[in-house]
């Protein structure tokens, strides 16, 4: 028969509730520190050049501070360029371009911010599927341009499209009455064709915009005007031959090139 002890159980010093909580907190702290270290190591291993900031300009260009699946605003891209330019932890910038172009005004706004960034650190363009028209206008201002062999680029030019559905409207019995203050006020209305004077004026605007565009591009890139004046789309491999781009390569190649430019400045 066991006789119950009349003596209380002995308590080992340091094993009370407060001591247990202290050790629990220490263990949690150590685990947190280990997780942080592994996270930092993972990020560094995943980013070959952590000093290179990649900014994406994807979709049709328009003015404004926005981004969507198929378009991007000039302020949105420009703000990122300026922020990277002013960030002391960023050595160089890669602008990843995948855009068919868009508004000349949007391109001009982005170019202003790109030039600001370029005054502080290298800016390299990496072209994806497409970098045409206004998207090439922006790209031409970078320090270096990379494209894939089958990237579609070029298409240097300006286009303004007008639609006339007056024939269909007449068939359906639609009538439109316009009261206007000037002869050109309803220019571009779909309810009628352009007048000869309106068409001449539209052509004047397109020509002036195109001259600004092609003069800037040929100055930035030292390209022969005759190679691009017809507005055709050009493959990346062919673009290299006429100095539209500098090198063939993907985004990683562009990142390497941007880091090399940054290292050369130090």
User: Are residues 215 and 114 both part of a single domain?
Assistant: no
User: Are residues 91 and 199 both part of a single domain?
Assistant: no
User: Are residues 61 and 94 both part of a single domain?
Assistant: yes
- Domain-embedded: residue 40: no
Q: What percent of the chain has pLDDT over 70?
A: 87
pLDDT of residue 2: 43
- Domain-embedded: residue 150: yes
Total domains in the chain come to 2
* CA torsion angle 231 161 63 146 (round to 10): -20
**Please, which residues bridge with residue 248 across strands?**
147
N-terminal to C-terminal alpha carbon distance within the chain: 87
**Alpha carbons within 13 A on the beta-carbon side of 9:** 2
User: Are residues 53 and 122 both part of a single domain?
Assistant: yes
pLDDT, tens only, 47-59:
567 899 999 999 9
- Domain-embedded: residue 161: yes
User: Hey, which residues are catalytic here?
Assistant: 133, 185
Q: What is the CATH number of the domain that holds 245?
A: 3.90.226.10
User: Are residues 172 and 119 both part of a single domain?
Assistant: no
- Domain-embedded: residue 15: no
DSSP state string for 1-54: -PPPP-SPPP--TT-SHHHHHHHHHHHHHHHHHHHHHHHHHHHHHH-S-TTEEE
Q: Strands 233-235, 92-99: parallel, antiparallel or unpaired by DSSP? A: unpaired
User: Are residues 148 and 236 both part of a single domain?
Assistant: yes
User: Are residues 91 and 175 both part of a single domain?
Assistant: no
- Domain-embedded: residue 36: no
User: Are residues 58 and 125 both part of a single domain?
Assistant: yes
User: Are residues 174 and 223 both part of a single domain?
Assistant: yes
- Domain-embedded: residue 134: yes
- Domain-embedded: residue 68: yes
Would the pLDDT of 36 be above 50? yes
User: Are residues 189 and 255 both part of a single domain?
Assistant: no
pTM recorded for the entire structure: 0.81
User: Are residues 242 and 208 both part of a single domain?
Assistant: no
Range of the domain at 196: 157-227
Contact assessment for residue 163 and residue 190, using Cβ atoms and an 8 Å cutoff: yes
**Alpha carbons within 13 A on the beta-carbon side of 165:** 9
Q: Which of the four pLDDT bands, split at 50, 70 and 90, describes residue 40?
A: low
- Domain-embedded: residue 4: no
Average pLDDT over the chain, rounded to whole?
90
User: Are residues 139 and 165 both part of a single domain?
Assistant: no
How long, in residues, is the chain? 266
pLDDT, tens only, 207-229:
999 999 999 999 999 999 999 99
């Amino acid at each position: 028969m066991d006789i119950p002890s009349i003596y209380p159980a002995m308590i080992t010093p340091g094993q009370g509730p407060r001591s247990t909580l202290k050790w629990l907190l220490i263990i949690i702290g150590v685990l947190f520190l280990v997780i942080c270290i592994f996270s930092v190591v993972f990020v560094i291993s995943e980013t070959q050049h952590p000093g290179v900031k990649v900014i994406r300009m994807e979709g049709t260009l328009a003015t404004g501070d926005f981004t969507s699946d198929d378009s991007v605003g000039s302020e949105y891209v420009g703000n990122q360029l300026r922020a990277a330019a002013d960030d002391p932890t960023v050595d160089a910038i890669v602008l990843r371009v995948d855009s068919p172009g868009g508004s000349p005004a949007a391109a001009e706004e982005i170019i202003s911010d790109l030039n600001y960034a370029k005054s502080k650190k290298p800016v390299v363009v990496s072209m994806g599927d497409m970098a045409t028209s206004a998207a090439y206008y922006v790209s031409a201002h970078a320090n270096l341009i990379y494209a894939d062999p089958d990237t579609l680029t070029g298409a240097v030019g300006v286009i303004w499209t007008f639609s006339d559905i007056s024939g269909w409207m007449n068939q359906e019995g639609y009538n439109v009455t316009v009261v206007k203050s000037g002869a050109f006020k309803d220019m571009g209305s779909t309810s009628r064709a352009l007048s000869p004077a309106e068409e001449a004026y539209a052509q004047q605007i397109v020509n002036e915009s195109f001259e600004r565009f092609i003069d800037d591009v040929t100055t930035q890139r030292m390209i022969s005007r005759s190679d691009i004046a017809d507005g055709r789309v050009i493959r990346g491999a062919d673009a290299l031959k006429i100095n539209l781009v500098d090198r063939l390569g993907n985004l990683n190649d562009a990142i390497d090139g941007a880091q090399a430019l940054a290292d050369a400045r130090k």
